[in-house]
Amino acid sequence: MKNIAVIGSGTMGNGIAHTFAQFGFQVQLIDISEANLVRGIATITKNLDRMVAKEKISEADKNKTLNNITTYTSIKEGVQYASLVVEAATENVDLKLQIFKELDEVCPEDTILATNTSSISITQIAAVTNRPTQVIGMHFMNPVPIMKLVEIIRGYNTSDEVMSFIVDLTKKINKIPVEVNDYPGFVANRILMPMINESVETLYNDVAGVKEIDTVMMLGMAHPMGPLQLADFIGLDVCLSILNVLYDGFKNPKYAPCPLLVNMVRAGKLGIKSGEGFYDYSESRKAEKVAKQFA
């Protein structure tokens, strides 16, 4: 397996492409937008430059990595030689189902289809294909080039052979695979999102302020980043989407999104990517100023 196609050139997609390319794989990075692809390659280049500056890789390593990536705006053209496709599009179930239907039609018969979804059912995605045994979840963590964990999610029909192959492949790109089963939120988000949601509830009920909540979790629980800052980093819209998946999947009120989170997303306060969430990022991407809150 030397050809890896990655669908989506956003934060997760370009990070996944970067990682595979750095370990010698030929990567076809695919996005419907040429402008998104340009931004994706620029991000990869910037991250590689940072690694060169820190003397983690050489200039030659950087150039080799970039030369291993080819961009496409057509899924059909980009996947024609792919042994593995990793879908990293927006966390939207209808979009993912549409993409996997197309992938099933245009990919070689033996291509493994993986999704980077953080919460959507692998079994549901696999069901729209004619190759459910070859569909699997590869949930990378952000930022992909740095974070070691990859959740490997087995769908109801995922074969043992595909599971074993993807676990071994994950190790080859210097990641640590953790095998989990296909239930809403898997492990990472089933535990993380209720914590973030409860942190928003704590703010919503005026128990403490943004910085106070984050400080308690950082200094008291040894978290490297407070839950509200982490929510801004992930994207409040993404957090809301995952909580809705959990709530719909389990019908348990403990997963119901806090009204404050819902209101903030409706108001376009999505975190770092919109310039404001629980913190104000208008002057810096660092969580230095608390944004104005509303209930």
Regarding whether 119 and 39 lie in a shared domain, the answer is yes
| pLDDT value at residue 187 | 96
DSSP secondary structure letter of residue 54? T
Please report the pLDDT score of residue 22 as a whole number: 97
Per-residue pLDDT tens digits for 80-133: 999 999 999 988 999 999 999 999 999 999 999 999 999 899 999 999 999 999
Q: Give the list of residues 6+ apart from residue 173 with CB closer than 8 angstroms, or none.
A: 19, 20, 22, 23, 25
**61 in a structural domain:** yes
Between 286 and 98, whose confidence is greater?
98
Q: What is the DSSP string of 79-107?
A: TTT-SEEEE---S-HHHHHHHHHHHHHHS
Indicate the average pLDDT of the chain: 96
User: What is the mean pLDDT of the segment spanning 129-141?
Assistant: 98
Check whether 206 has a pLDDT greater than 70: yes
Give the global pTM.
Answer: 0.91
Q: Give the model's pLDDT for residue 11.
A: 92
Q: How many domains does the chain have?
A: 2
d(CA 39, CA 85): 21
- 39 & 139 share domain: yes
Decide if pLDDT at 242 tops 90. Answer: yes
Whether the CB-CB separation of 88 and 16 falls below 8 Å is answered with yes
Determine what percent of the chain falls in helix, strand and coil, rounding each to the nearest 5: 50, 15, 35
**Which of 151, 181, 211 is a domain's end point?**
181
Handedness of CA 241, 246, 252, 258 (dihedral sign): negative
* Final residue in a domain of this structure, among 138, 158, 181: 181
Residue range 20-79, pLDDT digits in tens: 999 999 999 999 999 999 999 999 999 999 999 999 999 999 999 999 999 999 999 999
Band (pLDDT 50/70/90 cuts) for residue 288 is confident
Residues 159 and 222 in one domain: no
Residue 295's pLDDT is: 57
H-helix or E-strand spanning residue 153: strand 149-154
pLDDT of residue 253: 95
Report the C-alpha gap between 138 and 152 in whole angstroms: 5
Who wins on pLDDT, 41 or 294?
A: 41
* The pair of three-digit structure tokens given for residue 220, joined into one six-digit string: 């008291």
pLDDT value at 222 more than 70 = yes
Q: Using 50, 70 and 90 to split pLDDT, how confident is the model at 294?
A: low
CATH of the domain at 208: 1.10.1040.10
Residue 276 DSSP one-character state: B
Provide mean pLDDT across the span 185-209: 97
- 168 shares a domain with 52: yes
Range of the domain at 7: 3-181
- pLDDT value of residue 284: 87
In a domain, 146, yes or no: yes
**Domain match, 206 and 236 both:** yes
With respect to residue 41, please indicate whether it lies within any of the assigned structural domains. yes
Same domain (yes/no): 61, 126: yes
Flag whether 156 is in a domain: yes
Phi and psi, residue 249, nearest 5°: -75, -35
User: Which residues are part of the catalytic machinery?
Assistant: 118, 139, 151, 189
Percent of the chain at pLDDT > 90 equals: 93
Of 154, 181, 208, the residue at which a domain comes to its end is 181
**Could you tell me what percent of the chain has a pLDDT over 70?**
99
Query: Is the pLDDT at 158 greater than 90, yes or no?
Result: yes
